[in-house]
Structure 1
Amino acid sequence: MKRTKFKTGILAVVFCSLTFLFSGDGNSIYADEILTDTELPVGRFSFEEKTEEADDEDYESVEEDDVAEQSLLRMTGISADDWEKYGSDYFYEQLSDEEKKYWDDLDAICAKYLTTETDAVTTNTGTYRMKAISGSTLEKEKQKKVLRMFRYSKPQYYFLNATIYTITYSDKKVSMIFGIYPAFGKGADRMEETEKVKAQVDTWQKQIDECSTEDEKVQTIHDLIIQKVEYNHDLVNSDFATENTEYSQSVYSVLCTNKTVCAGYAQTFEMMCNGTGIDTVAVTSFDHEWNKIKLENSWYNVDCTWDDNGSDNVGYTYFLRNDDYYDTSSSYSKKHHAEESYWEGYLPATEMDSVGSPWISMNENASGSKIGMSCYNKEAEIYYTTDKSNPVTSGTRMLYQSDFLWNSSEYPVIKAAAMEDGKHNSAVVTKCLHNYNASILADAACEKAGTREYTCTICGNSYMEEIPATGHTVEIDPEVAAACETAGITEGSHCRVCGKVLVEQTVIPATGHTPVTDDAVAAACETTGLTEGSHCSVCGKVLTEQTVIPAAGHVPVTDAAVETACETTGLTEGNHCSVCGKVLTAQNVIPATGHQWNEYKESGKIKRKCSVCGKTETVGTYLDVKKIQLSKTTYAYDGKAHMPTIKVTNTAGKKLKEGTDYKVKKPSGRKNAGIYTVTIEMKGDYTGKYQKTFRIIPKGTAISSVKAKKKAFSVSWKKQAKQTSGYQIQYAVDAKFKKSVVAKNVNNTKKVKLDVSKLKAKKKYYIRVRTYKTVKVNGKSKKIYSGWSKVKAVTTKK
C-alpha cells in the first residue's frame, strides 16, 4: 500500500493555500493541501564522471548505416521510428550544426541499442557503456552540454544510467558518452526488457487516447504515473547505493517497477506527453527534476513528484504552474526549482498558469462561523460544495459570490476549487479539521506486513499505512563437526517465534582418517632403526605400526697416505667407517720437506724459484731503465736528414751513457716526409730493447687569395710539390674551428684553387689550408699533415 512520508520544516502560509483563521489569538491551523516550506522529496542522482583510455578502433562508425542489418525487436512492427516520437527535439533545434552532428551520432548509437541485440561495450572495470563517437572535433565542454541535453530529451533510451565516460584516444581526441545499467548490457537481455517497457507504454496510451482534449490527456498522464509508483525514500537515504538495480534515473523504474524518484517521474511524463503529440521537456536543478509542457501555445511547469501525496492521493499543487509560482510558493520550492546553469538561454518561458487554488477563511463572532473565499487569480470563479462532493464536477456545486455563515454541525466539510475560462481548474482545497483515528486491519507477522488504517471522523478521509513485517527472531542451531569415523551436521537456524526452519542443517559425512607418514629410521652402525609407519593427524590413531631394524655394523674405508711437500705436511695411511664416519685407524702427520731455491734477476727485481714445487718470490731489487726520451718528435721537411738525441734514465733518476749502458740503431733515410723508428738496446747492467718514433711532416703552404661569390667563395694557395701528395682545405663559420667545420681534400699537387658553393648568403666563413704526404706504415697508407696556414675570412654574396 502506497504512503509517502515527508520531513516537515517551518510552515509558512502562501497563496493558493487552505487556512482556518480564528479571531482572537491569531493562531492558524493548516489543512493537508497547504503549501509550506515542507521538505518535499528530491532525488536526482548527479552525473558521475569517469575517464577511460580506449583503442583507436573502439568507436561506432555511425556513417555506415548498419542499424537495419541488425536483428530488429522480436516484437512485430517495432522500429527506431516508432520510438522517435517519445523524445523531444526542442533543445536540438537550438544547437549549432556541429553540436547537432554530435547529438545525431548519439541518437544513432542509442537507437541501435534500443532496436537490436547489439551488446554494449564492457569497460575496464567490468561495467557497461555506449560505443564511443569517432573523430568529433567538438570541444569537451560542448560535448558534455549536448550529452546532458540529449539524456533529458530522449527518455525512451531507458538503459542509459547516470555515468558519463570520457573516452580518450592516442590522437588526444575525446568522446563523451553514457554508461549503461548492468542489466541492459547484453543485447538479448535488453530486448526482453524493451518489450516490457513498450507493453506498459501501449497500455497507458490506450487510456490516454480515450481523452478528447489535450488538457484531459495531460492530466491523465500525470495521474497514471502518480497512481502507479511511490517515491523511493530508501534508495535516496542510502545515497543511491542500489541504483544499479533500482533504475531510478530512468523511465524503467516507473514503467517496470513500482518505485522511483523525481528523475523517473519527470522522464516518464515527458515520454508519454511527447508520444501523445504534446511538446514536453525535462529540466533539472542541482538535485531535482521536473517538466515544462506546452499547451495552447503556452508553456507550464509540472512536478509529478511533488503532486504525489501518497496512498494514491493525486495532488495538483504543482500542476500547470508558471515560474513565478514555483519561485514564490515557498523558499524550498524556489531553491529546488532553480534550473542548472547549462539550461540558460535554452528553456521556454512559463509565464502563464492554469489557475491558482483558492483559499478559505473562517471568522467566528456572535452570529456564528463566517466563511470567506478568495484567489490570487482575480479572473477565476470559485465553486464550492458542502456535501463532500468534488466542486469541479459535482452537480451540487455552488458559485461563491460573498461570505456566508457556516453550520459546521450540519455541513462539517467545505470543498472549493477555482476555474478560469471554463476549462482550467485549480486543485481542490478542503476545509476540515481532520481528526484521525487509527485501527489495525491486519497484524504484522514474521514474514507478512500488517496494515493500519487512519480515518478522519469528520470528513471520512482515510489512508492506509503498512506495518512492516516483524522479521524472524533467529536462533542458531549449532554445528556439530564431523570426526574421522563419525558424521556431523552443519550450522542451521530457526525462528524462535514461529518455529520456521530458516537455514536447514545437513549431514556432514565422516571425514575419514588423515594419514600422516611416520618416517622410517635407518639402522646405524651401532644403533637400531625403525620401519616406515603411519597415524591419523586428526585423532592420532596408529594406522600402520613401525618395527625395529637391527644395527648394521661399520663399513671400513681406507684413508690413503698423503705425501709431504715443500710447505705442507703429509699423512700416513688409515681408515674410517663409510656409513657413520667414525675413525677406525688414525693417520699420523709427516713433516714438510722445505724449498730448493734458485735465484735470478728480472725487471729490476731479484727473485728466486723453487726447483721442486715451482714457487717464485721476490727477495730484493736492482736498478733498471725508467724513461727513454727523444729530444724532438716532429721535423718539417727541408731536404736534410734529421735525427733527435736520446736521453735514457734509470729507476734512480740517473742518466745512462750511450755505448756503456745502451746502443742506438738509427733508421735509414730520415730526410723525406715519413715516420721513423729508433731502436734502443740496453747492455751492461741493463737489459731490454725499446723503440721510439719521430716524424718528418711535409712543408706547409699559404693562402694566396680568397674571393667572395654568390652563396660561394673561391680560395687559392701556394703550390708545394716536394714531399707533398695533396692539400686539405677547411672552412667554418666559427673562427676557432670548433663547430660546423667542413674539410675538402685536393689530391693533386698541381691544383692550387678550390671553388666552394651552396653556402648561405651574406655569411662570414673562415678558411685555412695545409699539405699532406701519404706514406706507408706497417704496410698501410697513412697521411702526414703539415701545419695549418694562417686563417683567412670571406663573406659570401647575396
Structure 2
Amino acid sequence: MHMKRTKFKTGILAVVFCSLTFLFSGDGNSIYADEILTDTELPVGRFSFEEKTEEADDEDYESVEEDDVAEQSLLRMTGISADDWEKYGSDYFYEQLSDEEKKYWDDLDAICEKYLTTETDAVTTNTGTYRMKAISGSTLEKEKQKKVLRMFRYSKPQYYFLNATIYTITYSDKKVSMIFGIYPAFGKGADRMEETEKVKAQVDTWQKQIDECSTEDEKVQTIHDLIIQKVEYNHDLVNSDFATENTEYSQSVYSVLCTNKTVCAGYAQTFEMMCNGTGIDTVAVTSFDHEWNKIKLENNWYNVDCTWDDNGSDNVGYIYFLRNDDYYDTSSSYSKKHHAEESYWEGYLPATEMDSVGSPWISVNENASGSKIGMSCYNKEAEIYYTTDKSNPVTSGTRMLYQSDFLWNSSEYPVIKAAAMEDGKHNSAVVTKCLHNYNASILADAACEKAGTREYTCTICGNGYMEEILATGHTVEIDPEVAAACETAGITEGSHCRVCGKVLVEQTVIPATGHTPVTDDAVAAACETTGLTEGSHCSVCEKVLTEQTVIPAAGHVPVTDAAVEAACETTGLTEGNHCSVCGKVLTAQNVIPATGHQWNEYKESGKIKRKCSVCGKTETVGTYLDVKKIQLSKTTYAYDGKAHMPTIKVTNTAGKKLKEGTDYKVKKPSGRKNAGIYTVTIVMKGKYSGKYQKTFQIVPKGTVISGVKAKKKAFTVSWKKQAKQTSGYQIQYAVDAKFKKSVVTKNVNNTKKVKLDVSKLKAKKKYYIRIRTYKTVKVNGKSKKIYSGWSKVKAVTTKK
C-alpha cells in the first residue's frame, strides 16, 4: 500500500529552501508572511533522449491505411476514440504543423493507439529491447521527423509505454523512420493490456473527484494537488543517473499513476493528461533538464510546475502555480535557467503574460482565549476572502473579506477556505484549513495478480486521497511429482494457486523407465545360517530377475579366550572359548573380582594425597593450609619523580593474613621512580613453600588539550607539553562522544610537538577529541607502550 506521509526534498541533486520572513503581533500570533525567492536548487530530472540507429527488414513497418488516418483525424475533431483515450492528449502543437508533418504525427498516433487498445506485441530490437513499428514510406526530412516525434511524445501522455529512446530505422531504399522505444515491461501485448487497465482505473478514480468541482479553477487545483499528494520525488533514480529507468518509468505517467515515485517528467505529463481529459487545454514543455506545463484558463495561458510546488508530505505549495513567463524568468536565476525552453519549441509556444496572485497562508495560533486564525499573502495589494461554510471563497455569496485575526470556533465551523484576489491578476488557488477526520473504504479488493484500491475521505471537508492495496500474490500449492515406474508413466512436479486456481507450473508426462537390473550379491553361508547364490533384481521396482538359491550353514570353528588376571580396580576373567568365524561364545569366561589398592599417604602442595604401592595410582583425600591469594595495594602509579612500592597482602586457604618475615619475605625491584613495569617477588617460608611474582606499573604523567580550532573539513588540536618520562602522545577523535565507534587514533612520537592538524573530514560535522601520553619500555626484552589516563574530551564542529 502507498500512503504519502513524509518526504524531504534533500539530496545531492536537489535541495529545497524556502525562506519566510514572519512579523508578529504583541501576543505572538502570526500576522503575515513574506515570500523570499532565492537561487536555491529545486528538483529537475528530465532524462535526455537516447538516440539509436537500427537497420530493419523491409517488412518491419506498420501499414497505416489512409482510412485509418482519416478515422484518426475524425476522432481528433470530434473528441472521441475507441476507448475514450484521445481526450487525454493535446492537439495544440499538431494544429501548427504542415500537412506532411501532420501525416507523420497521424501515423505515430495510429500505431500507438493500436498498442494502447490491443494486445499487439512491440517490435524486438537487435539488442533484445522493444520499440514501435516503423512508419512506411515517409518522405519527411529526418530533422523534421525528430521535431514531430518530440512534440508528439509530450502531447500524448496517455501512451505511457513509450520510453526516452529514439530509434532511427533505416531501410534498403535509404528512407528512414524515427520512432520511440518501449519500456521492457510493456513490450508484450498481454502484459501491457493488464497495465493499461491499472492506468485507466487510477485515471477514472481521479476523474470522479475532478468532476465534482464546479469551476475550471477548482478542477485545475484539484489535479495539481492530487498528483503532489500521491507521489514522492525519486531522488535515488536521479542521483544514480537513471540507472534503473527501465523499471522506474520516470519519463511516463505510469510512474505517477502506478508506482508513486517520479521526477518532473511524470508530474508534468500526468498534469497534462488529467487537465486535457477534463477539457482544459494543457501542454507539457521542456528545458534541457526539466519539464513543466502551460495551461489555458479563461483565454489566458499560464505556467504550472507541480514538481517545484511539491514541498513534501501532504504539504502542497502554489508558488509555481498559474504564473507567467516573467515570474519564472525573474524570480531567480535558477528558475530562469531551468525554465528556458528547448530550441525546437521556438515559434510554437503560447504567450503566458497574465500572472496570478500568490496563495494566502492560514495560520492557527494558540493563546489564552483559544485558537486564533491569521491570514497573509506575499502580494501586498491582494485582498483575502474566506468562507467558513465549505463554499468556494472565489465565487461564494457567503465569503468574507479578511481584515484581522479572529477566534476559530472549530466545533461550529471546522473548515476555513481562503483565496487571494488582485485586479489584473488571476485569482490565487484556494487553500483550506481543516481538522481532517478520514474514513477509509475499500473500492476494490486486492486479488492474486491485481492490486486493490482503498479510498480515504474526510468527513468534514470532503478532501480525499487513494492508496493502493498491493496484490496479494498467488498462494502456491505444490502438485506433487509422480515418479515414472518401470512399466507406468509419471508426471513432473507442478503448482497452482490455491485461491484463484491458476496453474503456475504445468505438470508434464514422464515416460515409463523400463527395468534397471542390478546384481544381488552372493551371501556366504555362516556357522548357524544359510547363504545365497548370486542373483539380480530391478533397482526401481524391486522385481526379482534372477532368483538366488540357498547355501547350507557351515558350523562353528572354536578358539580359546585366554584368562585375564585381576588388578586393583579391574576384574579378571577365567579361560573360555568362542567361534573364530561368527564370534559366538561357546564357553563363557567367569569374572574374577578386583584385588583392591594398597595405599600409602603423603602431603603435597597443601593437599593430603595417597599412592597405591601395587598400581601406582595417586589421589587426593584431603587438604592442609597453603597460600591462597597475594594482593598488591596498588598496581598503577602516575609518574611524579618519587619512588613507589605497594604494600603486599598474603592470605592462606583458611583466609588468614600471613606475616612478612615469618611466613614470607619480599624482594623489591630496583628503581621504582621512572615510568615502567616493575616485578615484586614473594618467597614463602616457614610452614609455606613456593615463590610468587606480582607486577605494578608507573605510567607517564598525563596532559590536557589546550585548544581546538575548527577548519574547512578539518581541525587543529593543541596540548600542554609533557616531556618527562614520556615517549610521545596518542590522540583519538570520533563522531561518537563515547568513543565506541568510528574512532581514529593518531600517535605523535615527538614529545616536543604540541599541535596536530587533522584533515579530510566531513564538513559541518561534530568531532570529539581526547589525548594521553605514553612511554615505551622494555619488558622481557620486548618494547611495550604504557599509557597515562585520557584527558577530558573536547568537541569541535568542522567548517563547510
- Separation in 2, partners of 1:574, 1:639: 85
User: Structure 1 residue 548: deviation in Å?
Assistant: 32
- C-alpha contact 1:455 1:463 (8 A) present in aligned 2: yes
- C-alpha contact 1:18 1:30 (8 A) present in aligned 2: no
User: Structure 1 residue 162: deviation in Å?
Assistant: 0.7
Greater CA drift, 397-406 or 151-160: 397-406
User: Structure 1 residue 250: deviation in Å?
Assistant: 1.1
- C-alpha contact 1:726 1:747 (8 A) present in aligned 2: yes
- C-alpha contact 1:10 1:37 (8 A) present in aligned 2: no
User: Structure 1 residue 398: deviation in Å?
Assistant: 6.0
- C-alpha contact 1:71 1:116 (8 A) present in aligned 2: no
- Separation in 1, partners of 2:697, 2:19: 119
After TM superposition, list the pairs within 5 Å mapping 1:75-114 onto structure 2. Answer: 80=82, 82-114=84-116
- C-alpha contact 1:294 1:300 (8 A) present in aligned 2: yes
Find the partner of 1:642 among 633, 641, 644: 644
C-alpha change, 1:560 and 1:786, in structure 2 (3 Å) is same
Query: Counterpart in 1 of 2:557?
Result: 555
C-alpha change, 1:714 and 1:307, in structure 2 (3 Å) is closer
User: Structure 1 residue 636: deviation in Å?
Assistant: 138
C-alpha change, 1:662 and 1:13, in structure 2 (3 Å) is closer
Extract unaligned runs of 5+ from structure 2: none
- Separation in 1, partners of 2:373, 2:637: 135
The structure number with the bigger radius of gyration is 1
C-alpha change, 1:581 and 1:341, in structure 2 (3 Å) is farther
After TM superposition, list the pairs within 5 Å mapping 1:185-224 onto structure 2. Answer: 185-224=187-226
After TM superposition, list the pairs within 5 Å mapping 1:732-771 onto structure 2. Answer: none
C-alpha change, 1:581 and 1:237, in structure 2 (3 Å) is same
- Write the deviation string for residues 611-630 of structure 1: whole angstroms up to 9, x where unpaired: 99999999999999999999
Greater CA drift, 446-455 or 299-308: 446-455
- Separation in 2, partners of 1:631, 1:48: 80
- C-alpha contact 1:3 1:230 (8 A) present in aligned 2: no
User: Structure 1 residue 680: deviation in Å?
Assistant: 138
User: Structure 1 residue 85: deviation in Å?
Assistant: 1.4
- Separation in 1, partners of 2:335, 2:689: 114
- C-alpha contact 1:16 1:376 (8 A) present in aligned 2: no
User: Structure 1 residue 210: deviation in Å?
Assistant: 2.2
TM-score, scaled to structure 1? 0.48
Greater CA drift, 184-193 or 126-135: 184-193
- Separation in 2, partners of 1:719, 1:8: 45
- C-alpha contact 1:482 1:509 (8 A) present in aligned 2: yes
- Separation in 1, partners of 2:762, 2:440: 104
User: Structure 1 residue 289: deviation in Å?
Assistant: 1.1
- Separation in 2, partners of 1:183, 1:655: 86
- C-alpha contact 1:15 1:376 (8 A) present in aligned 2: no
Identity of aligned residues (%): 98
- Separation in 2, partners of 1:124, 1:779: 74
User: Structure 1 residue 596: deviation in Å?
Assistant: 116
- Separation in 2, partners of 1:631, 1:366: 67
User: Structure 1 residue 723: deviation in Å?
Assistant: 137
- Write the deviation string for residues 421-476 of structure 1: whole angstroms up to 9, x where unpaired: 79954357999999999999999999999999999999999999999999999999
- Separation in 2, partners of 1:662, 1:370: 88
Extract unaligned runs of 5+ from structure 1: none
Greater CA drift, 369-378 or 643-652: 643-652
C-alpha change, 1:48 and 1:564, in structure 2 (3 Å) is farther
- Write the deviation string for residues 576-626 of structure 1: whole angstroms up to 9, x where unpaired: 999999999999999999999999999999999999999999999999999
- C-alpha contact 2:330 2:336 (8 A) present in aligned 1: yes
C-alpha change, 1:93 and 1:606, in structure 2 (3 Å) is farther
Greater CA drift, 248-257 or 114-123: 248-257
Q: Secondary structure at the match of 2:440?
A: strand
- C-alpha contact 1:14 1:35 (8 A) present in aligned 2: no
- Separation in 1, partners of 2:735, 2:315: 94
C-alpha change, 1:785 and 1:621, in structure 2 (3 Å) is same
C-alpha change, 1:572 and 1:662, in structure 2 (3 Å) is same
- Write the deviation string for residues 633-681 of structure 1: whole angstroms up to 9, x where unpaired: 9999999999999999999999999999999999999999999999999
- Separation in 1, partners of 2:8, 2:390: 26
- Write the deviation string for residues 380-432 of structure 1: whole angstroms up to 9, x where unpaired: 32347999999879999863569999999999999975224799543579999
Q: Secondary structure at the match of 1:32?
A: strand
Greater CA drift, 23-32 or 570-579: 570-579
Greater CA drift, 253-262 or 125-134: 253-262
User: Structure 1 residue 105: deviation in Å?
Assistant: 1.1
- Separation in 2, partners of 1:226, 1:742: 45
User: Structure 1 residue 756: deviation in Å?
Assistant: 105
- Write the deviation string for residues 223-252 of structure 1: whole angstroms up to 9, x where unpaired: 222222222222222222222122111111
Greater CA drift, 247-256 or 528-537: 528-537
TM-score, scaled to structure 2? 0.47
- C-alpha contact 1:136 1:175 (8 A) present in aligned 2: yes
- C-alpha contact 1:70 1:117 (8 A) present in aligned 2: no
User: Structure 1 residue 47: deviation in Å?
Assistant: 0.9
Q: Secondary structure at the match of 1:301?
A: strand
- Separation in 1, partners of 2:584, 2:156: 95
Aligned positions, number: 798
Whether 2:629 is the aligned partner of 1:627: answer yes
- C-alpha contact 1:476 1:493 (8 A) present in aligned 2: yes
Q: Secondary structure at the match of 2:126?
A: coil
C-alpha change, 1:27 and 1:720, in structure 2 (3 Å) is closer
- Write the deviation string for residues 74-121 of structure 1: whole angstroms up to 9, x where unpaired: 999995462211111110111112211111111111111112221111
Q: Secondary structure at the match of 2:111?
A: helix
Greater CA drift, 326-335 or 429-438: 429-438
- Separation in 2, partners of 1:460, 1:741: 55
Query: Counterpart in 2 of 1:424?
Result: 426
- Write the deviation string for residues 527-553 of structure 1: whole angstroms up to 9, x where unpaired: 999999999999999999999999999
- Write the deviation string for residues 713-751 of structure 1: whole angstroms up to 9, x where unpaired: 999999999999999999999999999999999999999
- Separation in 2, partners of 1:706, 1:15: 32
- C-alpha contact 1:71 1:117 (8 A) present in aligned 2: no
Query: Counterpart in 2 of 1:401?
Result: 403
- Separation in 1, partners of 2:551, 2:211: 102
- C-alpha contact 1:167 1:174 (8 A) present in aligned 2: yes
Q: Secondary structure at the match of 1:576?
A: strand
- C-alpha contact 1:535 1:541 (8 A) present in aligned 2: yes
- Write the deviation string for residues 751-771 of structure 1: whole angstroms up to 9, x where unpaired: 999999999999999999999
Q: Secondary structure at the match of 1:70?
A: helix
- Separation in 1, partners of 2:636, 2:662: 28
- Separation in 2, partners of 1:83, 1:391: 34
C-alpha change, 1:723 and 1:559, in structure 2 (3 Å) is same
- Separation in 1, partners of 2:280, 2:459: 42
- Separation in 2, partners of 1:702, 1:21: 48
User: Structure 1 residue 14: deviation in Å?
Assistant: 15
Query: Counterpart in 2 of 1:584?
Result: 586
User: Structure 1 residue 51: deviation in Å?
Assistant: 0.9
Query: Counterpart in 2 of 1:673?
Result: 675
C-alpha change, 1:416 and 1:279, in structure 2 (3 Å) is closer
After TM superposition, list the pairs within 5 Å mapping 1:408-557 onto structure 2. Answer: 417-420=419-422, 424-426=426-428
- Separation in 2, partners of 1:489, 1:134: 50
Greater CA drift, 304-313 or 557-566: 557-566
- C-alpha contact 1:415 1:429 (8 A) present in aligned 2: yes
C-alpha change, 1:700 and 1:496, in structure 2 (3 Å) is closer
User: Structure 1 residue 166: deviation in Å?
Assistant: 0.8
- Separation in 2, partners of 1:739, 1:410: 56
- C-alpha contact 2:643 2:671 (8 A) present in aligned 1: yes
Q: Secondary structure at the match of 1:7?
A: coil
- Separation in 2, partners of 1:213, 1:460: 17
C-alpha change, 1:84 and 1:573, in structure 2 (3 Å) is same
- Write the deviation string for residues 149-208 of structure 1: whole angstroms up to 9, x where unpaired: 000001111111111011112222211100011111111222222222222222222222
C-alpha change, 1:560 and 1:144, in structure 2 (3 Å) is farther
- Separation in 2, partners of 1:618, 1:368: 88
- C-alpha contact 1:13 1:34 (8 A) present in aligned 2: no
Q: Secondary structure at the match of 1:649?
A: strand
- C-alpha contact 1:226 1:304 (8 A) present in aligned 2: yes
Q: Secondary structure at the match of 1:256?
A: helix
C-alpha change, 1:60 and 1:684, in structure 2 (3 Å) is farther
- Separation in 2, partners of 1:460, 1:545: 88
